[in-house]
Structure 1
Amino acid sequence: MLTLSDLRSLECRHCGLKRINTQIYHLLPYLTHLDLGYNEIQFLANDEFQDLHRLHTLKLDGNLFPVILENTFVNQQQLKYLCLARNRIAKIPDTALKNLTSLIELDIGYNKLSKAESVAFSYVKKSLVKLIISGNKFRLNIVKDLLDVLTSIRDLSIAHMRLVSIPEGFFPERIRNLNLSGNNLTELTVGMFPKHLQLLDINANDIRGLNDSVLTFFESIPHIKFRDNPWTCDLCHISDIFFRVNHTNLFLNTTCAFPSVLKGKSLQRLTLDEIPACSDSGGGEEDPFGSNKKGLIIGLVCIVTFAVSSIIFVVCSCVRRHHQNEARRRKRAAECQENNLDHSTAIFTKNQLNFQFPLDLTERKLSVSTIGEIKKDDRQGMSNGTITTGL
């Protein structure tokens, strides 16, 4: 009768687990396969798996922990497969992989890693054969450093890392399986690849055509994947392919992406009369990815233009209103000044004296008397009861 202690494999994927009571591992001394993928585990203690000395496979992908602590797997000397993919890991500590001298495959893909210290991987440099670092933010120099340290790597996955180009001689000749899918590679040369590849995945890149030398090299690879590339079916891009397409199995399920008149048509069913010249291919106008970029750029330009126009309109309105208010203020000041002047002139006119003299000397005679005569006349007038003037 089997007991709990005889259990060799435990799988609990998508179980909604947030934490595992580590006491349960005391009851599973012979456990070799543990799968806790796609739960909600946010933390791993550094003694989390200290009782599981016989583990060969440990899957922790799809959880929520942001960091691996020092010496977390120090008791798993027999571990061969470790999957930490699709978490939120931003750093691999120096001793996180310590004592994993039997580790053959490591998957740390689709985390938030941008750096990787070589010392952290030095513990597995002789045993590790397969490394998956896809979906991280590693630059090519980081990848190169890892390849220099991990001298036993044969299988490498660097998919979905936004790689635009790869220099010739970048990959060591020991690489047999290479996954470059989901990048932005546009041009391929023979010198980019190891000579003895057994599997090459370049799905979902931006490859539009192949020249004769690359095509010949690819025919020597037993397993190659080409899907979801925007093949441009004009003489500039597929002239070498066209004359060999029916003599190779590379393009069994490959179709044209543009020009639009040939979109969706199998390369194996093309005729020479259908293939346009380079100048007639439509170029980027037919590019399904380029059209989206152009639409986005046009939309952004329209938004920026509208925003700038609105700002200019508001500023001009404020300036115009300011000038109008200033003109009104000056007009009112001028009117007030004019009213004050008119009022002052009216007062002066009202209080001024008007003297009118008879200037016609021919009709009137001006008599001039001496002071003595005036006094004499005054005395006579007073005696007569009248007053006379000297005029």
Structure 2
Amino acid sequence: TMGHLLAFLLGLVFKATSVYGIPSCSADGQLAFYRFCNLTQVPQVPNTTTKLLLSFNYIRVVNATSFPLLDQLQFLELGTQNIPLTIEREAFRNLPNLLVLDIGNTKIQFLHTDAFQGLFNLVQLQLYYCHLSDSILKDGYFRNLSSLAILDLSRNEIENLQLHPSFGNLESLKSIDLSLNHISLICKRDLEVLQGKRFSLFNLASNNLYSKVSVNWKECMNPFKNMSFEILDVSSNGWTVDIVRDFCHAIQGTRISSLLLNYHIMGGGFGFHNLKEPDQDTFAALGMSSVIKMDISHGFIFSLNFHLFETLRELKVMNLSHNKVNKIANGAFYGLDNLQILNLSYNLLGELYQSDFAGLSKVAYIDLQRNHIGIIEKQTFKHLKNLQTLDLRDNAIKTVYFLPSVHTAFLSGNKLVHIEENINITAGFLDLAENRLANLNDLYILLQIPDLKFLILNKNRFSFCNQQYGPSKNHTLEQLYLSENMLQLIWEAGKCWDVFKRLSHLKILFLNNNYLNFLPPDVFSDLTALQILSLDGNKLISLSPGVLPENLRVLSLSQNHLLSPDPTVFASLSYLDITHNKYICECEARNFILWLNQTKVNMLGSPEDVYCTYPDSFSGVSLYSISTEGCDEEEALQFIHFSLFIFFTTTLTVFLTAVVTFTRFRGCCFLLWRKMFLTLALEYHPQGVKEDQHKYDAYLCFSSKDFEWVQNAFLNHLDSQYSPKNRFNLCFEERDFLPGEDHINNIRDAICNSKKTICIVTRHFLKDGWCIEAFNFAQSRYFSDLKDVLIMVVAGSLSQYQLMKYPPIRVFVQRQPYLKWPEDLQDVGWFLNKLSQRILNKKEEKKKSNNIPLQTVATIS
């Protein structure tokens, strides 16, 4: 059965682990934990025990001698035995101070009528699902239980309520649960012994009460006469409109604070008319019962008819969810003068009209989520002056012009495509997640709402920005959620970088999953109160120092593309999550690895989730286990070894070549030296090319393996043949070298016919012999003409010591500054303007400046 299966599954759980901090089948003085111990009788436990757990065992009998004297025991769990249980006379007499007795979910084979005698302090008795019959109520089992307040008899086999007179003496009794039995009829005579009592809960749910029998209410009369209830649960009994009407008429005058009529069969549903809809008479008799809360959810009500609740003038909470409501008649809520909460969620409403909520003058919360609402008249909620919270989640709304001035509005999961300008609303909490907003200008509009504190815009479609408003006029916004949008497309186009300006009170900002690979300069500069920032799930490679607000305390950067972060960026944080990134575990990351092991910042996530991805030999290894010892020595030794190798190889080669050449061609060497001297003198001195006669503005020297990147990064934005708006006439090998001509002559002609030579130094450049030769030739012109004719641009992750390995480059670096390709895309425009000034040999160049579309420029690795 389902009960045995549940017991088996629970058994697996409890066997696997200890509970309450002590191992199974033991006691620690106050707690005795003996679940699943295969016991056949009650074990000996200390007399100081206050809680004894004995469920899931094989105890067959408990009698007056089963328990030792445990005068401090307050809680006894004896239920869910694996075999039928017999409880004999005064079985618990040695437990005089017991407060809670749980025998639930056990088949009781025999229960003596004096089994519970002596439990004068018992407050709660659990007898659910014990296969008990009517005798448990009529034979006086609960005599003398003067402190009993809670009695659970649910899921038994009780058919009739014939209560023993001793129930009248249970003065503390406040809660009776009789749900899931077989009680088909209750009349006045059945509960006479309970008259005069007030119950916090009286549960008669799921009994098929009154639905399977014919009731003569004149003879049966009010079963709850002279009784009162905080909660009366008569749900899940299969009640139709007629049964509800007759029941309410029979119990009129009985005071009930909360009436549960849910899981009914009132209403015809959508497209059916065989069952009645509730009408003006259905609940009319409840007007004298002072009902404050009423639940008629989970049914088939299709239409809320005229004056349906007119007598329920004290009602404050109404739950109509999970019906089939499609129509609200004019005046349906008439009479609900004190209603504060109305739940109409999970219905079939498609349109809302101005008259729908008439009469709800005090309503503060309306729940309309999960309907099909697409059209709402403008004044529908305007007249509800006390409305504070409006929940319209998961509908089909396309505009917010109807929105009243409320404190809290839930509109997520709708079809909003834009926000109307000059919207006249005031709200402290606004949820617009999972809509179709695409223009970030809508956020600027929302930030004009004066008292807005919480704004949720997750899972929209923000991907462009036609900005029509300036920065925010809101000085109260504290939390902003923009997760799972496409801000990268907006920011890489150079748009709306000021979206967070003036938000000086913002404390929490979520920007996760926005495809971000850079952050605009000073984008967070005005967020002086920001404490929590989430950038999870983006594509950030690095963060520049100073990009984060000074007061930031919690930063989440999980699942980005961080390679080797600068630890100074995180210095002021209290909590940091940098798990699941793409860290490079080489000596360049030494400072970051050292910081990671020494920082006082609280690192969120598991250390195993901060792992290397490069080189392959360290892939998956935690950064916390990487050692940086030997990085300094390794770099120094590599540089020395390489320098010595180059020096000795070059010296030996030159010496041998000179000896052989001079020996065999002494005469020719002299003539060749004389000719070269005259040629160089002619080329690089007054008879050479004049400044204004150069064919090219600059010769762009780079490795052919970098052509695609150089084309996107430089040629598209500088060369006049690529675009008419570009001003420079550049020379480069793939286009301007003469085919068939000697390569060294092509290089020499390019350098001589260009005002400047720009060498794009990358890893491929350093491995290309022609590139090194061109660099050497250009540098010789620098020393000959004594002009700044050579510009070096370093791109990619090349360190200083790697550049110093090559003598021509080392000589240049020691004498001249060089340019470095920026890591952040927002700096590319500035860099190209600076390079243009170097080509023109001017401090500033404002004429015909280049506008650089950042989306076309990538970062070389």
Indicate whether the TM-score tops 0.5: yes
Q: CA deviation at 1:162?
A: 1.0
Distance in 1 between residues matched to 2:322 and 2:244, nearest whole Å: 19
Out of 248, 251, 272, which is 1:144 matched to?
248
- Residue number in structure 1 paired with 2:197: 102
Q: CA deviation at 1:2?
A: 1.5
Taking structure 1 as reference, are residues 118 and 44 closer, same or farther at Cα in structure 2, changes over 3 Å only?
Answer: same
Distance in 2 between residues matched to 1:19 and 1:112, nearest whole Å: 28
Distance in 1 between residues matched to 2:279 and 2:221, nearest whole Å: 22
8 A contact 1:131–1:155 mirrored in 2: yes
Residue 200 of structure 1 aligns to a residue whose secondary structure is strand
Residue 26 of structure 1 aligns to a residue whose secondary structure is coil
Which string of whole-angstrom CA distances, capped at 9 and with x for unpartnered residues, describes residues 128-150 of structure 1? Answer: 34322112245133222233141
For residue 37 of structure 1, what is the amino acid of its counterpart?
A: Y
8 A contact 2:232–2:258 mirrored in 1: yes
Residue 6 of structure 1 aligns to a residue whose secondary structure is coil
Taking structure 1 as reference, are residues 66 and 253 closer, same or farther at Cα in structure 2, changes over 3 Å only?
Answer: farther
TM-score (norm 1): 0.56
- Residue number in structure 2 paired with 1:59: 152
Report whether the alignment pairs 1:208 with 2:291: no
Q: CA deviation at 1:189?
A: 4.7
Report whether the alignment pairs 1:40 with 2:131: yes
For residue 185 of structure 2, what is the amino acid of its counterpart?
A: K
Summarize the alignment of residues 42-191 of structure 1 with structure 2, pairs less than 5 Å apart: 42-45=133-136, 46=138, 47-71=140-164, 73-92=167-186, 94-100=188-194, 101-104=196-199, 105-114=201-210, 115=215, 117-122=220-225, 125-138=226-239, 139-150=243-254, 152-164=255-267, 165-168=277-280, 170=284, 171-172=286-287, 174-189=290-305, 191=307
Summarize the alignment of residues 275-290 of structure 1 with structure 2, pairs less than 5 Å apart: none
- Residue number in structure 1 paired with 2:120: 29
- Residue number in structure 2 paired with 1:319: none
Distance in 2 between residues matched to 1:95 and 1:71, nearest whole Å: 12
Distance in 2 between residues matched to 1:8 and 1:212, nearest whole Å: 54
Residue 252 of structure 2 aligns to a residue whose secondary structure is helix
Residue 23 of structure 1 aligns to a residue whose secondary structure is coil
Which string of whole-angstrom CA distances, capped at 9 and with x for unpartnered residues, describes residues 64-115 of structure 1? Answer: 2222224363442432211111111112254432332223232111102114
> C-alpha root-mean-square deviation of aligned residues, in Å?
3.8
Give 1 or 2: higher helix fraction.
1
Residue 246 of structure 2 aligns to a residue whose secondary structure is helix
8 A contact 1:227–1:254 mirrored in 2: no
For residue 287 of structure 2, what is the amino acid of its counterpart?
A: P
- Residue number in structure 1 paired with 2:72: 2
Taking structure 1 as reference, are residues 268 and 192 closer, same or farther at Cα in structure 2, changes over 3 Å only?
Answer: farther
Taking structure 1 as reference, are residues 243 and 19 closer, same or farther at Cα in structure 2, changes over 3 Å only?
Answer: farther
Taking structure 1 as reference, are residues 218 and 270 closer, same or farther at Cα in structure 2, changes over 3 Å only?
Answer: farther
Distance in 2 between residues matched to 1:272 and 1:196, nearest whole Å: 41
Residue 161 of structure 1 aligns to a residue whose secondary structure is coil
Residue 58 of structure 1 aligns to a residue whose secondary structure is strand
Residue 395 of structure 2 aligns to a residue whose secondary structure is coil
Q: CA deviation at 1:31?
A: 1.2
For residue 154 of structure 2, what is the amino acid of its counterpart?
A: D
8 A contact 1:242–1:267 mirrored in 2: no
Q: CA deviation at 1:207?
A: 0.8
Which string of whole-angstrom CA distances, capped at 9 and with x for unpartnered residues, describes residues 214-267 of structure 1? Answer: 6899897433333321233699976446765798734343536xxxxxxxxx78
Task: Report the count of equivalent residues.
Answer: 263
Taking structure 1 as reference, are residues 233 and 13 closer, same or farther at Cα in structure 2, changes over 3 Å only?
Answer: farther
Residue 256 of structure 2 aligns to a residue whose secondary structure is coil
Q: CA deviation at 1:206?
A: 0.7
Structure 2: which 5+ runs fail to align?
1-70, 74-94, 268-276, 357-372, 397-410, 419-861
Distance in 2 between residues matched to 1:186 and 1:16, nearest whole Å: 44
For residue 181 of structure 1, what is the amino acid of its counterpart?
A: S
Taking structure 1 as reference, are residues 220 and 249 closer, same or farther at Cα in structure 2, changes over 3 Å only?
Answer: farther
For residue 72 of structure 2, what is the amino acid of its counterpart?
A: L
Structure 1: which 5+ runs fail to align?
257-265, 274-391
Distance in 1 between residues matched to 2:333 and 2:249, nearest whole Å: 30
Which string of whole-angstrom CA distances, capped at 9 and with x for unpartnered residues, describes residues 145-201 of structure 1? Answer: 233141x22221112221123232613162110010112211225722223322111
Q: CA deviation at 1:26?
A: 0.9
Distance in 2 between residues matched to 1:91 and 1:215, nearest whole Å: 33
For residue 187 of structure 1, what is the amino acid of its counterpart?
A: S
Taking structure 1 as reference, are residues 254 and 130 closer, same or farther at Cα in structure 2, changes over 3 Å only?
Answer: same
Taking structure 1 as reference, are residues 28 and 230 closer, same or farther at Cα in structure 2, changes over 3 Å only?
Answer: same
- Residue number in structure 1 paired with 2:106: 15
State the percentage of identical aligned residues: 16
Distance in 2 between residues matched to 1:20 and 1:92, nearest whole Å: 25
For residue 255 of structure 1, what is the amino acid of its counterpart?
A: N
8 A contact 2:232–2:259 mirrored in 1: yes
Give 1 or 2: higher strand fraction.
2
- Residue number in structure 2 paired with 1:377: none
Taking structure 1 as reference, are residues 20 and 27 closer, same or farther at Cα in structure 2, changes over 3 Å only?
Answer: same
Distance in 2 between residues matched to 1:27 and 1:145, nearest whole Å: 43
8 A contact 1:69–1:93 mirrored in 2: no
Taking structure 1 as reference, are residues 53 and 234 closer, same or farther at Cα in structure 2, changes over 3 Å only?
Answer: closer
For residue 108 of structure 1, what is the amino acid of its counterpart?
A: L
Q: CA deviation at 1:35?
A: 2.0
8 A contact 1:74–1:97 mirrored in 2: no
Out of 221, 228, 233, which is 2:346 matched to?
228
8 A contact 1:32–1:55 mirrored in 2: yes
Distance in 1 between residues matched to 2:280 and 2:259, nearest whole Å: 17
Distance in 2 between residues matched to 1:201 and 1:19, nearest whole Å: 43
Which string of whole-angstrom CA distances, capped at 9 and with x for unpartnered residues, describes residues 12-60 of structure 1? Answer: 3333445544333113122122122233323434122223233222111
8 A contact 2:120–2:145 mirrored in 1: yes
8 A contact 1:70–1:93 mirrored in 2: no
Taking structure 1 as reference, are residues 148 and 218 closer, same or farther at Cα in structure 2, changes over 3 Å only?
Answer: closer
TM-score (norm 2): 0.27
Taking structure 1 as reference, are residues 28 and 97 closer, same or farther at Cα in structure 2, changes over 3 Å only?
Answer: same
Distance in 2 between residues matched to 1:180 and 1:157, nearest whole Å: 7
For residue 177 of structure 1, what is the amino acid of its counterpart?
A: K
Distance in 1 between residues matched to 2:148 and 2:257, nearest whole Å: 23
Distance in 2 between residues matched to 1:209 and 1:118, nearest whole Å: 35
Which string of whole-angstrom CA distances, capped at 9 and with x for unpartnered residues, describes residues 339-380 of structure 1? Answer: xxxxxxxxxxxxxxxxxxxxxxxxxxxxxxxxxxxxxxxxxx
